[in-house]
C-alpha cells in the first residue's frame, strides 16, 4: 500500500490516493482533477472508488467529473450527501460506522460528526484520513451549518481510542511541517483540543 499526497486548490486541501496492487482509492478529490489523473496515469493506477470525509465544497469540487470519467462510485455519509452536491446516482451512502472492502483493502468509515453532521474519518490499516475533524494541533470548526461542538468532542474522544501509532492524514496541510500528517499518539500529547476533550470535556465547548 502506498499513499500519494496532493495539495490542491488555494485552501491547502489535501487529496490522497491510496494505491494497493495498482488499484486506487481517492480520498477527497477536489479542485484539480487533472493533477489527480496525472498521477493515476503515470503510476498506472486504476481508481476503484472515491471516498469523501464530508460534503463541504472544498473537499468535493469537480469530483463529479472524476466519478463520471472513471465510472466509479463515491462514498459519503448520508447526512452530508445533499451538501456535497454530488450526483446521487454516483454515490453510496451509509448512516453510521460502516466497513467496505475496496481495492482489496478493508476500509472503515468511522462516523465522527461535529465539524459537519456527516463527517467521517476513514481508516485503512493503521492509517486514518480525518478530513476536517482532526488536524495536527487543531480540530475542525463547528460554526458552519451542521456543526456541533459537543459532537466534535465525542468524535475526538472516539479517535483517541485508536492505537497511538495510527498515522493521521488530515484534510488540510495545516501541520507545522507543512503537511497534514501526524499520529494519534503525537496528538494525544500535543493537540490542545484533543487533550481538553479527554481531560476536561466539560470545558471543551468554551474552548472551541
Ligand atoms: Zn470542512
Task: Calculate how far, in angstroms, residue 101's C-alpha sits from the geometric centre of ligand 1.
Answer: 26
Task: Calculate how far, in angstroms, residue 160's C-alpha sits from the geometric centre of ligand 1.
Answer: 20
Start-to-end C-alpha separation, the chain:
36
Q: Structure pTM?
A: 0.96
Task: Calculate how far, in angstroms, residue 56's C-alpha sits from the geometric centre of ligand 1.
Answer: 5
In this predicted structure, the answer to whether residue 174 has a pLDDT above a threshold of 70 is yes
Lookup: cell for 205: 465547548
Residues with CB under 5 A from ligand 1 (ion): 56, 132
Domain ranges of the chain: 2-207
Task: Calculate how far, in angstroms, residue 67's C-alpha sits from the geometric centre of ligand 1.
Answer: 20
60 forms beta bridges with none
Q: Is the dihedral of CA 18, 86, 59, 108 positive or negative?
A: negative
pLDDT in tens, 80-102: 999 999 999 999 999 999 999 99
Between 3.10.20.30, 2.50.20.10, 3.40.50.1820, 3.60.15.10, what CATH number should domain 2-207 receive?
Answer: 3.60.15.10
In this predicted structure, the answer to whether residue 189 has a pLDDT above a threshold of 80 is yes
Task: Calculate how far, in angstroms, residue 37's C-alpha sits from the geometric centre of ligand 1.
Answer: 23
- At CA 35, angle to CA 30 and CA 39, rounded to 5? 115
Mean predicted confidence (pLDDT) in 170-174: 89
Long-range own/partner contacts, residues 85-88 (CB < 8 A, 24 or more apart): 85/55, 85/57, 85/60, 86/52, 86/55, 86/60
Question: Using CA atoms, how far apart are residues 174 and 187, in angstroms rounded to an integer?
Answer: 13
3 forms beta bridges with 18
Task: Calculate how far, in angstroms, residue 21's C-alpha sits from the geometric centre of ligand 1.
Answer: 31
Task: Calculate how far, in angstroms, residue 15's C-alpha sits from the geometric centre of ligand 1.
Answer: 13
Task: Calculate how far, in angstroms, residue 180's C-alpha sits from the geometric centre of ligand 1.
Answer: 14
Q: What are phi and psi of 33, to 5 degrees?
A: -65, -30
Task: Calculate how far, in angstroms, residue 44's C-alpha sits from the geometric centre of ligand 1.
Answer: 30
Mean predicted confidence (pLDDT) in 150-155: 98
Mean predicted confidence (pLDDT) in 113-130: 98
Q: Cβ(33)–Cβ(72) under 8 Å? A: no
Residues in the chain: 208
List the one residue out of 38, 36, 51 whose CA is nearest residue 6: 36
Q: Cβ(38)–Cβ(45) under 8 Å? A: no
The mean of the pLDDT values for the chain is: 96
List the one residue out of 112, 122, 171, 191 whose CA is nearest residue 146: 112
Task: Calculate how far, in angstroms, residue 115's C-alpha sits from the geometric centre of ligand 1.
Answer: 7
Amino acid at each position: 500500500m502506498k499513499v500519494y499526497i496532493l495539495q490542491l486548490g488555494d485552501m491547502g486541501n489535501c487529496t490522497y490516493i491510496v494505491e494497493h496492487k495498482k488499484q486506487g482509492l481517492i480520498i477527497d478529490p477536489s479542485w484539480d482533477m487533472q493533477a489527480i489523473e496525472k498521477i493515476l496515469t503515470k503510476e498506472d493506477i486504476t481508481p476503484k472508488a472515491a471516498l469523501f470525509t464530508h460534503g463541504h465544497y472544498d473537499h468535493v469540487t469537480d469530483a463529479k467529473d472524476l466519478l463520471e470519467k472513471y465510472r466509479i462510485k463515491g462514498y459519503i455519509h448520508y447526512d452530508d450527501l445533499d451538501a456535497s452536491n454530488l450526483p446521487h446516482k454516483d454515490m453510496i451512502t451509509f448512516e453510521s460506522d460502516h466497513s467496505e472492502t475496496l481495492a482489496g483493502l478493508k476500509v472503515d468509515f468511522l462516523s465522527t460528526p461535529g465539524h459537519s453532521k456527516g463527517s467521517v474519518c476513514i481508516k485503512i490499516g493503521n492509517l486514518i484520513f480525518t478530513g476536517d475533524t482532526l488536524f495536527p494541533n487543531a480540530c475542525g470548526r463547528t460554526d458552519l451549518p451542521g456543526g456541533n461542538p459537543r459532537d466534535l468532542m465525542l468524535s475526538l474522544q472516539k479517535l483517541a481510542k485508536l492505537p497511538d501509532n495510527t498515522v493521521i492524514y488530515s484534510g488540510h496541510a495545516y501541520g507545522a511541517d507543512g503537511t497534514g500528517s501526524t499520529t494519534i499518539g503525537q496528538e494525544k500529547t500535543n493537540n490542545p483540543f484533543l487533550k481538553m476533550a479527554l481531560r476536561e470535556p466539560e470545558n471543551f465547548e468554551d474552548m472551541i
